[in-house]
């Protein structure tokens, strides 16, 4: 199992947001998490990536290793990648020098030699073409002056550069028009790999028409209340989240 | 175990200030104290002409009637001006014809500082003047410069070789009556650089002076004078380091720049004097007067400074825009950590028509430091259609440091356009999380963010020094952010 989450609970300022999450993602699979606003989707992705400020219990294992005590940078170097819902801007920090430092941190961690400038440049050109990110954007500071769509594409570009084991896409579809969505989804599909798993967090079924998930989980009020194959997403689209609430009431 | 821990700590503190070594060079140091006799001694030692001695003595008499300025936002114990030695020089005679003649110990000092005095400097296109304590030790590439008619030498040498030039300009931009520290410097200055670019000459290489305080209990009072004639251009850089000491050492320099019609001077500083330890013990008191005069029409002067060192910095590199259509610029990054205090900024004095000035100041405060920007934009009645743009940004790290902005404007010409923007920010947690999520440690993320923040200023430095400055900003932050 690539990622195992067991009875994960998280609260912030005394308010419990995740109430015992259990989730297993085998290597090479793409899982989707859907859920209404405020159900804890973004909190879950932040906590897997190691964001500070929560009281946490339970377990998160990557390739069998407990990572809850690891700093975010160690988790990143070990292969966890989070495509942010709202990527920040880094004024004056060139995207290429930023990414070169990041890529080399990951390579060092994996015991691989660092990339020199020309090898890195070649890699960057190749991956930028994959997500149709213009060379002009690569020369700019990270996300500075990028449109909403360009920022999201840049996230996928960085994912391509870092070649993670476990990629989490936090509402990558939000704020994207249909063309941008297609480009992002195609980039993600090209990155699907037997040694890489993905967790796609989304509000809408739309993204899952482009990125076909192996499993779909429904997160409501801090817990996974239903799991199924991709047809679950379609059912949700049709019947809405109230349908699940009703189902739950029946079963309880 | 205890010992290796101790070693580790020492290594760490060494790393925090890599230039903190002391060189064992035979020195001639005069006894502490300041009097007419001291000044006569210095002047005699340097075999100066009578006019210069008289100028020094006038400055000294004026200084006696002055008091240290109290308006800066700086706190420090009173300086005992009688407890300073005003002259220290390496004993081996500093008149050299080639690098091979340099005292090996001095040479090794500069090698350890990473100053490339060697042939590779030729490739880098940099000519270096090195001032150790009070005396200029060597000036490289004089010949190549001489071909173009560029004069680049120590000011002591210039007094002898080009007395009429020195006399024509010395004290014309910063008169000894200007302020307390300028008066003191005029009385006791020991060395510094002199640059003269003849008309129509584009100086073929970067000129650079490296200042190093080595001797204990001494002050450093260098004086630099740069004249860019009509249609000439020069880019000049100074770097500064000093050994780690428990005592505070005084550095009171004066720099004067003069640009004639369409002449241009780019003056860059990377100031890394010893800042004191984390408890504020030791460090350089840096009281510096730097001013440029855009004397001719369409002349240009720009100051770019990266200030990371010194326990106390008091420094306002300024431009007097006298010639019509002249331009002045001030680009500054001032970083303070631990208990450092900086009160720095600029003055832009608009006199000529259509004069333009630009101020970009980036303050970075960490630890328990205090960092103030203080700037004056003065537009005289004569400065028809003058323009100024000022941008003052402060970046705070942690919640025990202080950032302050004191902008002053005096506008006497209604057609002038003056803009001022100021921001204060902290490095937000979500920005740090974004960087650490990509695999960067917190510390390298902060260094990268700070460098990005300072980039607009660093981009104005000559390339090879910009690289140095970036490293310096990162090193200076080590251990000062949580």
**For chain A, domain boundaries:** 3-214+226-251
Give the orientation angle of helix B180-188 with respect to helix B50-64, to 10 degrees. 150
In chain A, what are the helix, strand and coil shares in percent, each to the nearest 5?
Answer: 40, 25, 35
pLDDT tens sequence across B399-450: 889 999 999 999 999 999 999 999 998 888 899 999 999 999 998 898 899 9
pLDDT tens sequence across B1-21: 334 444 443 444 344 566 665
Question: Is there a contact between B436 and A81 if contact means CB atoms under 8 Å apart?
Answer: no
pLDDT bucket at B214, cuts 50 / 70 / 90: low
Query: What residue of B is the nearest CA neighbor of A159?
Result: B438
**Is B191 a residue whose pLDDT tops 70?**
yes
pLDDT tens sequence across A237-247: 888 888 888 88
SS (H, E, C) B64-124: HCCCCCCCCCCCCCCCCHHHCECCEEECCCCCCCCHHHCCHHHHHHHHHCCCCCCCHHHHH
Question: What span, in angstroms and rounded, lies between the C-alpha atoms of A113 and A76?
Answer: 18
Burial of A24-63, coded b for 16+ CB within 10 Å and e otherwise, reads: ebeeebbbbbbbbeebbbbbbbbbbbbbeeeeeebebbbe
| Torsion-angle region of B256 (φ positive above 0: left; ψ -120 to 50: alpha; else: beta) | beta
Question: Is there a contact between A93 and B430 if contact means CB atoms under 8 Å apart?
Answer: no
Give the E-state strand segments of B275-315 in sequence order. 283-294, 300-307, 312-315
Q: Which residues of A touch B453 (CB under 8 A)?
A: 91-92
What count of Cα atoms within 13 Å lies in the side-chain half-sphere of residue A249?
6
| Touching A: B residues 439-468, CB under 8 Å | 439-442, 444, 448-449, 451-456
Q: How far is A235 from chain B (nearest CA, A)?
A: 34
The tokens describing B42, both together, are 């210095």
- Residue A226: exposure state from Cβ atoms within 10 A (0-12, 13-18, ≥19): middle
Q: How far is A85 from chain B (nearest CA, A)?
A: 11
What is the structure's pLDDT at B135? 56
ipTM for the complex?
A: 0.97
Q: Which residues of A touch B393 (CB under 8 A)?
A: none
Q: How far is A125 from chain B (nearest CA, A)?
A: 19
- Report the mean per-residue pLDDT for chain B: 84
Question: Is there a contact between A73 and B455 if contact means CB atoms under 8 Å apart?
Answer: no
What is the structure's pLDDT at A131? 87
Across B352-366, average pLDDT: 95
Question: Which site among A90, A146, A151 would you substitute to test the B interface, given the most B Cβ atoms closer than 10 Å to its Cβ?
Answer: A90
Spatial contact of B422 and B389, defined as CB atoms under 8 Å apart: no
**Is B244 a residue whose pLDDT tops 80?**
no
Of A82, A93, A103, the CB nearest to B437: A82
What is the structure's pLDDT at B119? 37
| Beta-strand relationship, A15-25 and A3-12 | antiparallel
pLDDT tens sequence across B61-105: 999 999 999 999 999 989 999 998 888 776 544 444 455 555 566
Query: What residue of A is the nearest CA neighbor of B456?
Result: A92
Q: Which residues of A touch B425 (CB under 8 A)?
A: none
Of B431, B439, B452, the CB nearest to A76: B439
Q: Which residues of B touch A78 (CB under 8 A)?
A: none
Run of H or E residues at A210: helix A206-210
The tokens describing B296, both together, are 């001719």
- Residue B445: exposure state from Cβ atoms within 10 A (0-12, 13-18, ≥19): buried
Q: How far is B368 from chain A (nearest CA, A)?
A: 25
Task: Give the least confident one: A191-200, B166-175, B363-372.
Answer: B363-372
Spatial contact of B365 and B401, defined as CB atoms under 8 Å apart: yes
Q: What is the DSSP letter of A89?
A: P
Of A72, A81, A94, the CB nearest to B433: A72
Question: Is there a contact between A71 and B448 if contact means CB atoms under 8 Å apart?
Answer: no
Q: How far is B446 from chain A (nearest CA, A)?
A: 11
3-state SS class at B127: strand
Pick the CATH number of A3-214+226-251 from 3.40.50.2000, 3.40.190.10, 3.20.20.80, 3.40.50.300: 3.40.50.300
In chain B, what are the helix, strand and coil shares in percent, each to the nearest 5?
Answer: 25, 35, 40
What count of Cα atoms within 13 Å lies in the side-chain half-sphere of residue B398?
17
pLDDT bucket at B107, cuts 50 / 70 / 90: low
What count of Cα atoms within 13 Å lies in the side-chain half-sphere of residue B345?
23
Question: Is there a contact between A51 and B440 if contact means CB atoms under 8 Å apart?
Answer: no
Query: What residue of A is the nearest CA neighbor of B434?
Result: A88
**For chain B, domain boundaries:** 19-315
**Is B367 a residue whose pLDDT tops 50?**
yes
Among chain A, residues having any CB pair with chain B shorter than 8 Å are 49-53, 71-73, 75-77, 81-82, 84, 87-88, 90-94, 97-99, 101-103, 105-106, 109, 141, 158, 162
Spatial contact of B326 and B290, defined as CB atoms under 8 Å apart: no
Spatial contact of A198 and A172, defined as CB atoms under 8 Å apart: no
Question: What span, in angstroms and rounded, lies between the C-alpha atoms of B115 and B211?
Answer: 11
**Is B467 a residue whose pLDDT tops 60?**
yes
In the block, tokens 């995207």 appear at A95
What is the structure's pLDDT at B100? 57
What sign for the dihedral angle of Cα A24, A25, A26, A31? positive
The tokens describing B210, both together, are 């490296």
DSSP bridge partners of A197:
A166
Question: Is there a contact between B441 and A73 if contact means CB atoms under 8 Å apart?
Answer: yes
Q: Which residues of A touch B429 (CB under 8 A)?
A: 52-53
What is the structure's pLDDT at B443? 87
Question: Is there a contact between A162 and B439 if contact means CB atoms under 8 Å apart?
Answer: yes
Question: What span, in angstroms and rounded, lies between the C-alpha atoms of B55 and B186?
Answer: 8
What's the distance, CA B213 to chain centroid? 13
Cβ-Cβ contacts under 8 Å between A and B: the total is 77
Question: What span, in angstroms and rounded, lies between the C-alpha atoms of A16 and B18?
Answer: 49
What is the structure's pLDDT at A64? 96
Question: Which site among B360, B391, B434, B438 would you substitute to test the A interface, given the most A Cβ atoms closer than 10 Å to its Cβ?
Answer: B438
Spatial contact of B161 and B136, defined as CB atoms under 8 Å apart: no
Q: Which residues of A touch B437 (CB under 8 A)?
A: 49-50, 72-73, 75-76, 81-82, 84
Question: Is there a contact between A92 and B435 if contact means CB atoms under 8 Å apart?
Answer: no
In the block, tokens 């030699």 appear at A113
- The residue with greater pLDDT, B51 or B118, is B51
Across B164-184, average pLDDT: 96
Question: Is there a contact between B431 and A98 if contact means CB atoms under 8 Å apart?
Answer: no
The tokens describing B463, both together, are 């390339």
pLDDT tens sequence across B196-205: 999 999 998 8
Q: What is the pLDDT along chain A (252 residues), one digit of tens a residue?
A: 999 999 999 999 999 999 999 999 999 999 999 999 889 999 999 999 999 999 999 999 999 999 999 999 999 999 999 999 999 999 999 999 999 999 999 999 999 999 998 999 999 999 999 888 888 898 999 999 999 989 999 999 999 999 999 999 999 988 888 888 998 899 899 999 999 999 999 988 889 999 999 999 999 999 999 999 999 999 988 888 888 888 877 766
What is the structure's pLDDT at B9? 39
Across B317-341, average pLDDT: 95
List Cβ neighbours of B245 (8 Å cut-off, separation of 6 or more): B216, B274, B282
pLDDT tens sequence across B25-62: 566 778 889 999 999 999 998 999 999 999 999 999 99
């Amino acid at each position: 199992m690539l990622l195992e989450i067991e009875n994960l609970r998280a609260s912030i300022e005394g308010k419990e947001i995740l109430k015992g999450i259990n989730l297993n993602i085998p290597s090479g699979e793409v899982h989707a998490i859907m859920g209404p606003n405020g159900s804890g989707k973004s909190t879950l992705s932040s906590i897997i990536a190691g964001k500070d400020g929560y009281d946490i219990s339970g377990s998160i294992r990557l390739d069998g290793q407990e990572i809850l005590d690891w700093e975010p940078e160690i988790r990143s170097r070990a292969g966890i990648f989070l495509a942010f819902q709202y990527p920040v801007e880094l004024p004056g920090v060139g995207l290429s020098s930023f990414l070169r430092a990041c890529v080399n941190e990951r390579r060092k961690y994996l015991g691989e030699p660092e990339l020199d400038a020309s090898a890195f440049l070649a890699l960057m050109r190749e991956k930028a073409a994959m997500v149709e990110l213009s060379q002009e954007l690569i020369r700019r500071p990270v996300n500075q002056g990028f449109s909403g769509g360009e920022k999201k594409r840049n996230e996928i570009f960085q994912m391509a550069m870092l070649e993670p084991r476990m990629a989490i896409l936090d509402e990558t579809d939000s704020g994207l028009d249909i063309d941008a969505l297609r480009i992002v989804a195609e980039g993600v599909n090209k990155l699907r790999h037997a040694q890489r798993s993905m967790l796609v967090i989304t509000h809408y079924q739309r993204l899952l028409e482009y990125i076909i998930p192996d499993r779909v989980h429904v997160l409501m009020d801090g817990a996974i209340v239903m799991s199924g194959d991709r047809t679950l997403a379609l059912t949700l689209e049709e019947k809405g989240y109230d349908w699940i609430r009703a189902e739950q009431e029946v079963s309880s | 175990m205890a010992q290796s821990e101790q070693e580790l700590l020492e290594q760490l503190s060494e790393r925090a200030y890599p230039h903190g070594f002391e060189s064992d060079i035979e020195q001639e140091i005069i006894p502490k104290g300041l009097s007419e006799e001291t000044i006569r001694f210095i002047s005699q030692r340097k075999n100066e002409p009578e006019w210069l001695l008289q100028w020094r003595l006038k400055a000294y008499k004026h200084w006696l009637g002055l008091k240290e300025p109290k308006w800066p936002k700086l706190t420090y114990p009173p300086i005992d001006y009688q407890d300073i030695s005003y002259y220290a020089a390496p004993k081996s005679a500093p008149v050299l014809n080639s690098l091979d003649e340099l005292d090996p110990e001095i040479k090794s000092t500069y090698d350890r500082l990473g100053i490339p005095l060697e042939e590779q400097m030729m490739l880098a296109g940099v000519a270096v003047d090195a001032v150790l304590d009070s005396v200029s030790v060597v000036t490289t590439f004089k010949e190549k410069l001489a071909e173009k008619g560029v004069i680049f030498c120590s000011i002591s040498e210039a007094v002898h070789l080009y007395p009429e030039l020195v006399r024509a300009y010395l004290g014309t931009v910063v008169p000894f009556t200007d302020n307390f520290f300028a008066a003191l410097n005029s009385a006791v200055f020991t060395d510094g650089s002199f640059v003269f670019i003849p008309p129509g000459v584009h100086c073929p290489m970067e000129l650079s002076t490296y200042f190093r305080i080595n001797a204990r209990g001494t002050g450093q009072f260098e004086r630099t004078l740069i004249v860019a004639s009509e249609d000439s251009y020069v880019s000049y850089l100074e770097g500064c380091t000093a050994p780690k000491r428990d005592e505070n050492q005084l550095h009171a320099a004066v720099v004067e720049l003069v640009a004639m019609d369409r002449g241009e001077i780019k003056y860059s500083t990377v100031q890394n004097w010893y800042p004191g330890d984390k408890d504020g013990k030791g460090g350089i008191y840096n009281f510096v007067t730097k001013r440029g005069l855009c004397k001719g029409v369409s002349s240009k002067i720009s100051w770019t400074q990266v200030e990371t060192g010194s326990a106390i910095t008091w420094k306002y590199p300024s431009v007097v825009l006298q010639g019509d259509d002249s331009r002045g610029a001030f680009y500054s990054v001032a970083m303070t950590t631990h208990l450092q205090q900086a009160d720095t900024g600029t003055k832009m004095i608009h006199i000529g028509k259509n004069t333009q000035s630009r101020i970009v100041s980036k303050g970075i405060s960490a630890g328990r430091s205090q960092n103030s920007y203080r700037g004056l934009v003065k537009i005289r009645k004569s400065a028809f259609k003058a323009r100024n743009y000022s941008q003052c940004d402060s970046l705070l790290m942690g919640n025990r440091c202080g950032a302050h902005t004191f902008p002053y404007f005096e506008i006497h010409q209604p057609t002038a356009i003056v803009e001022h923007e100021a921001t204060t920010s902290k490095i937000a947690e979500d920005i740090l999380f974004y960087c650490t999520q990509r695999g960067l440690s917190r510390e390298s993320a902060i260094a990268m963010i700070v460098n990005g923040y300072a980039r607009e200023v660093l981009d104005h430095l000559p390339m090879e020094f910009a690289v140095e400055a970036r490293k310096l900003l990162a090193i200076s932050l080590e251990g000062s952010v949580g």
